Amino acid sequence: MTTEPPEPPAAEPPSADLLAVLPRITRLSSALTKGRLIERATAEAGLALDRPAVGVLVSLRTADKPLRIGEIADRMQVVGPHVTRQVQALEKRGLVRRVGDPHDRRASLIEPTEAGTEAANRYVASLLGWFAEALAGWPQQDRDDLARLLTRLADDVTARLDRFDEEGGGEV
């Protein structure tokens, strides 16, 4: 006897305010991608690195402390082997180095070298400069609101996705 799995509950239609935001998120994502903002900032910073390598440097820069490979991967939302390859390439270029983990002698941490920190700072300055120009005409309160709400959105979405991953792919 074969039992059919129960049908999932009917999804509620999305609210009008969320439906209104979706095309704007898609448009913003497309504009950033098609405008090659990352590539432009990388070139302006004088970096001959691909996007994942820049991601490793920025992750280390924003952490402001040495990180394990797994921590970098989590921050970048990729798997460890991708980060390992990028770290190896960055090590060869003298932009990062491995240091001992004071809490676990078997593990190593990755930290930027002085050249790596300078490269990450140039990249971040270029990227943030672009956004600062785009927001230059906004009142300070609007810029503050944007920062607060984007932080909240990123934190809430990340927490929800983390719960989804912990549950083994359950309901998003």
Confirm if 61 and 121 have CB atoms less than 8 A apart: yes
**Interval 67-78 mean pLDDT:** 92
Summarised one tens digit per residue, pLDDT across range 126-167 is: 999 999 999 999 999 999 999 999 999 989 988 888 888 788
pLDDT at 3 over 60: yes
- Cα 101 from Cα 67, distance rounded (Å): 9
- Cα 95 from Cα 113, distance rounded (Å): 5
- Cα 150 from Cα 58, distance rounded (Å): 19
How far is residue 118 from each of residues 96, 97, 99, measured CA to CA in Å?
Answer: 11, 14, 19
- Cα 84 from Cα 69, distance rounded (Å): 7
Summarised one tens digit per residue, pLDDT across range 98-130 is: 999 888 888 899 999 999 999 999 999 999 999
Beta bridge partners of residue 100, listed in sequence order: 108
Pick 1 or 90 by higher pLDDT.
Answer: 90
pLDDT at 170 over 60: no
Structure token digits, residue 144: 């503050």
**Residues 6+ away with beta carbon under 8 Å from 110:** 56, 60, 66, 67, 68, 69, 72, 87, 96, 97, 98, 99
pLDDT bin (cut points 50, 70, 90) of residue 32 is confident
Residue 9: its pLDDT value, please?
67
The count of other CB atoms within 10 Å of the CB of residue 137 is: 7
Where b means 16+ CB within 10 Å and e means fewer, 79-117 reads: eeebbeebbebbeeeebbbeeeeeeeeeebbbbbeeebb
Residue 61: its pLDDT value, please?
94
Residue 163: its pLDDT value, please?
85
pLDDT at 77 over 60: yes
Beta bridge partners of residue 111, listed in sequence order: 97
pLDDT at 18 over 90: no
Query: If we measure between CA atoms, which residue out of 75, 52, 58 comes closest to residue 117?
Result: 58
pLDDT bin (cut points 50, 70, 90) of residue 2 is low
- Cα 43 from Cα 49, distance rounded (Å): 9
